[in-house]
Amino acid sequence: MTVQRTELAIQDFEKFMRYAIQHEQGFSFDIFVSFSTSLINFYQGSDLIKESERMDTALILSKAFNAGMGNRISAEDLEEIATLIISDRTIDYSVLNPIFA
């Protein structure tokens, strides 16, 4: 993954996190997984990432989430979370709308 794509993923994660907190939605694990799944599928559908970059992108997002949680999630669990994220091919545009506003 390029540095530019890595930064894009982190910026989009931060935008969504700020939106969720500002609108008192909170930023739970379930919301994170739904957002990450949709974002990765959107990126791939828009040719921003390749199929081979899905896992890397999921790990980047998972590590950003973990940092926000005080790095409480183990490396093994981050791998499991990333695998869960890329296993779903759906896109929930309602979850993505805040980063495109």
Classify 72 as helix, strand or coil.
coil
Domain boundaries, the chain: 3-96
Half-sphere exposure (CA, 13 Å, Cβ side) for 62?
Answer: 23
Residue that is written with structure tokens 């979850």 in the block: 95
* 80 has pLDDT over 80: yes
The alpha carbon torsion through 61, 98, 39, 70 (nearest 10 deg) reads: 10
Mean pLDDT within 62-91: 96
Q: What are the pLDDT digits (tens) for 34-52?
A: 999 999 999 999 999 999 9
CB atoms within 10 A of CB 58: 25
* 23 has pLDDT over 90: no
8 Å CB contact between 67 and 59 = no
Identify the pLDDT of residue 52: 96
Radius of gyration, alpha carbons of the chain: 12
